[in-house]
Amino acid sequence: MTHNLRADTITITGHGGDEIEAYLAIPTDAPSVGSMIIIHHMPGYDEGTKQIARTFAANGYAALIPNLYYRVAPNVSPDDAAATARSLGGVSDEQLVGDAQGAMNYLKALDISNGRVGVIGYCSGGRQSFLVGLHLPVNAVIDCYGAFVAIDPPSEFPLKVKALIGEVDKLSAPLLGLFGADDTFPSPEQNEQLAEALTAAGKEFTFRTFEGAGHAFFSPERPSYRPEAAVEGWKDIFTFLSRTLA
């Protein structure tokens, strides 16, 4: 299904009452829609992520991307903003949850909102999407190859976060995980470890691993792009959302 849509750069109120930049894409020919918070990957709030928001809008969902790096690097290129954020150890979990709460508040206040909100993230954003599902009352969680959910990062890694596997009992919504068989962060073994923890906690989840795909297989602008896996992954996403956000 293809909808007419509008996309705008806006300002939302994020963690601690901070005003941050965000990107909003909405269908303009649907009276009531579910909404998606999109958590950008470690390379930042870039054109590829904005295209993802427009894809959601074209398929009948409101979509909002908070610029997680706006505080530390406003009005600079995504590459420069990402470098600054990495030098600081990344975005804190507390700030991420606060910014996601602000995005949720904005989406639920839209005239076309049906009151149901999901969250999706890629790369570091996959872990952060899972984090949102632990702390906010979302209706759907999608983790696209999120590293460091099951294990802590190596000590030399720029992202200074901790694993989330010990908190799976707090997951508030059904979870869809999309992974590459050739990825190492997360590896298939790490995903199996997470699946075992989710099963033990009685959580609803579906994991799919794509053979021949590694990290960032959804990104057309990167050498890791795998078109067949991406097409199938998008089908899985919209099937999942038709059940959880309708």
Condensed to tens digits (0 to 9), the pLDDT of residues 60-119 reads: 999 999 999 999 999 899 999 999 999 999 999 999 999 999 999 999 999 999 999 999
Chain-centroid distance, C-alpha 8: 19
Lookup: tokens for 214: 């590694």
> In the structure, what pLDDT confidence band is assigned to residue 3 with cuts at 50, 70 and 90?
confident
The domain that holds 211 is classified in CATH as 3.40.50.1820
Domain containing residue 208: 5-244
Pick from 154, 146, 203: nearest CA to 179: 146
Pick from 110, 180, 199, 107: nearest CA to 119: 107
Instruction: Count how many domains the chain has.
Output: 1
pLDDT for 1 equals 61
Pick from 212, 213, 215, 205: nearest CA to 236: 205
Q: What is the pLDDT of residues 181-231, one digit of tens each?
A: 999 999 999 999 999 999 999 999 999 999 999 999 999 999 999 999 999
- From CA 128, how far away is CA 126, in angstroms rounded? 5
Amino acid occupying residue 57: A
